Homo-oligomer: A and B are copies of this chain.
Amino acid sequence: MHMHSNLRSIQPRNGSSDEGKETMSGEFSRHKQFPAHGVIFFEGDPASNIYEVAAGSVMLYKLLPDGRRQVVEILGPGDLFGMPAGDIYDVSAETLTETLVHLMSRKEAETSHVMQEHIKKCLVSQVQNLHEHAVLLGRKSAHERVASFLMRFVPSRGDFACIGPQEDADESVVTLNMTRQEIADFLGLTIETVSRVLSDMKRRKVITMEKQDRIRIMNVCGLCHLTGKY
């Protein structure tokens, strides 16, 4: 794995900025490497640091006392986390793949105007993503949830800026980097339902399974129309 292949960075606002590169690596004082499924912090831990995903992937989740789990966010390079309202983290953070994070203390972040601006920008996106996810959890069918989830991995397609099919074969191969249980816990489904829906999509030739966590979408437009969004 090339840990830095996804790493994007921008100059502080008074320097020259690189279009489309939006992380703040220059601002962070420390970094830390985690293996896949490494715990970065637990819900309830003292919220001492703010983190940025530099490379890899992180899930944020909450547990109910009886063990039910809801994955509330899935984060990638450039995303910030670890900014609760109070003194303790309101979620647990665990890596999905080998992950490099940048970190700084909350105190450091509070004294940096550049960071405060950046945090605000990230929070606005986060709120918008959480609104979208509330619609998925509250109102979408199991098929629509799984289709929406798979479309996350084809970022150039499916929203207002969709570039449309680029070739005759409208295919895309996606690597999930998540177990069926993690997907179920993100989509508010059971593991059995996730497997059943994937099997059904396979039977209907919307997808083929290349490996356990590697899926070939056979018809991106077709899958997109299953998301309930159009």
Which residues of chain A have a CB within 8 Å of any CB of chain B?
A: 60, 62, 64-66, 68-70, 72-73, 83-85, 90-91, 116-117, 119-121, 123-128, 130-135, 137-140, 185, 187-188, 228-230
Question: How many copies are assembled?
Answer: 2
A69 touches B134 (CB 8 A): no
Query: Is A124 touching B124 in the complex (CB atoms < 8 A)?
Result: no
Q: Which residues of B contact A90 (CB under 8 A)?
A: 128, 131-132
A60-B131, A70-B135, A188-B138 as given contacts; A124 in contact with B83, CB under 8 Å: yes
Question: Residues of B contacting A135 with CB < 8 Å?
Answer: 62, 64, 70, 72
| Nearest chain B CB to A84 CB, angstrom units | 6
Q: Is the CB of A65 within 8 A of B230?
A: yes
Give the CA-CA distance A134 to B133 in the complex, in Å. 8
The answer for the CA separation of A123 and B85 in the assembled complex, in Å, is 9
Contact partners of A126 in chain B: CB under 8 A: 123, 127
Q: A119 contacts which chain B residues (CB < 8 A)?
A: 120
* A187 cross-chain contacts in B, Cβ below 8 A: 138
Taking CB atoms, residues of chain B closer than 8 Å to A132 are 62, 90
User: Smallest CB–CB gap between A14 and chain B, Å?
Assistant: 17
Distance A121 CA – B116 CA, assembled complex (angstroms): 11
Cβ–Cβ contact B84 & A124, under 8 A? yes
Nearest CB in chain B: distance from A175 CB, A: 24
Q: Which residues of B contact A69 (CB under 8 A)?
A: 139
